[in-house]
Structure 1
Amino acid sequence: MSDFSSLVAHQGSKCSDEEWDEYVHMGNVRDNETPSEWMDRILSRLIYFKENDLLPIGGKHLTHARRLFRYSNGTTYAPANGFAICHKCNQLVYIGKKVGGYNHGGILKHWITSCSVYVHVSFEEVKRLKQKPKSQRSADDIYVLHEYELWMKNAVRKIEHAREIGKKIRAVNIISQKWLEYMYRPEGMTAKQLALHYQLLWTVREEMRQVNNA
């Protein structure tokens, strides 16, 4: 088979016939195998295909999980079951089953809201598109800008979440220090000092309650 014929037969993939045979069966989920077990079984080989540019044109971004059905007449059928492996973050994602032959919305939602490494377009390209008058923006331009805006919101949300976690950790450390200072009643306190001591204890408990409820 010529190089051109091989590319056509392998849907643009540069893999050998043996590798192609392995790839086309890679998406099949075995009987009694969960999607997570399926991913664990094939992920190392999938990464090998990705890193060596052996994936077909239509499989550059994700690999669908498929449930293989065998019929008595010898034919087989392997529809996608709604799960896929994202090639950008190597995570198992539920993207939903196809509706009318289309289910790219599920993986797009993952890329925009959850994927840790997804950036569809460069900042320079976004800047260029934003500088275009709205009346001159194409449908593709509007789609790219909307997608980038959603991705940015997700990135900002992750940063804010990390900051909130940092605040809680710092608050817990401060409370722990206060608790160690005031958890035991020092000897020789006057009535006024004792009242202040228990007031501080109450303040510490309130801070702990607020952190736990945050």
Structure 2
Amino acid sequence: RIYGSCTPEEWAEYCWMPQVRTNETPGEWKERIWTRLTYFRENDLLPNQSKEYLEARKLIQFPDGSSYAPEIGIAICFSCDRLVYTGQRTKNMGNYNHIGMEKHWKISCTGSKYCGINYEKYSEIKHKSNFKRNYDEEICIKSL
């Protein structure tokens, strides 16, 4: 199979999954794809770059018939299954990462699968007095 674990039909379906339709809200998009997205996740059919979250995209079609589907700053986090505003893509140490997803995992993700610190621990550190935080806790707070 040239599509990893997917059949050609599943790969085509996956390629269209991130597309938010015209006049569709992010919540409606998530609801529309959720059953199939869950199937892809449970059967390990997602490509490596989509194992942690799925970025929403908006299809732009040009008069010449070509099209482009840029990310729109929203994703579904696979740790907590919530919609996340990711903001704009930024370059980070040679790789493209969503700083918005990293912040989400650090401070508001209830699943905490992709971050070394969970939300409860972060909240506990954040509410400590500056004088009671150790060096690692201070770095954690400042990294956001």
Equivalent in the alignment of 2:75: 84
> How many Å apart are 1:51 and its aligned residue?
0.5
Question: What do you get for the CA RMSD once the two structures are aligned?
Answer: 2.1
Equivalent in the alignment of 1:73: 64
- 3-state DSSP class of the match of 1:102? strand
Letter in 2 for 1:83: I
- 3-state DSSP class of the match of 1:93? strand
Distance 2:96 2:79 in 1: 20
Equivalent in the alignment of 1:142: none
Equivalent in the alignment of 1:105: 99
Is 1:44 the counterpart of 2:46 in the alignment?
no
Unmatched runs of 5 consecutive residues or more in structure 2: 125-144
> How many Å apart are 1:99 and its aligned residue?
3.1
Tell whether the 8 Å contact from 1:97 to 1:103 is kept in structure 2 after alignment. Answer: no
Distance 1:53 1:94 in 2: 25
Return the TM-score normalized by structure 1: 0.52
Greater RCO (CA < 8 Å, at least 6 residues apart): 2
More strand by share: 2
Between the two proteins, the alignment pairs up a number of residues equal to 122
Letter in 1 for 2:120: A
- 3-state DSSP class of the match of 1:115? coil
**Cα deviations across residues 15-51 of structure 1 (Å, max 9, x unaligned)?**
1100000000000010011111111111111111000
Tell whether the 8 Å contact from 1:62 to 1:85 is kept in structure 2 after alignment. Answer: yes
Unmatched runs of 5 consecutive residues or more in structure 1: 121-146, 160-214
Equivalent in the alignment of 1:24: 15
CA radius of gyration, larger in: 1
4+ residue segments displaced more than 6 Å: none
Distance 1:87 1:73 in 2: 36
Equivalent in the alignment of 1:115: 109
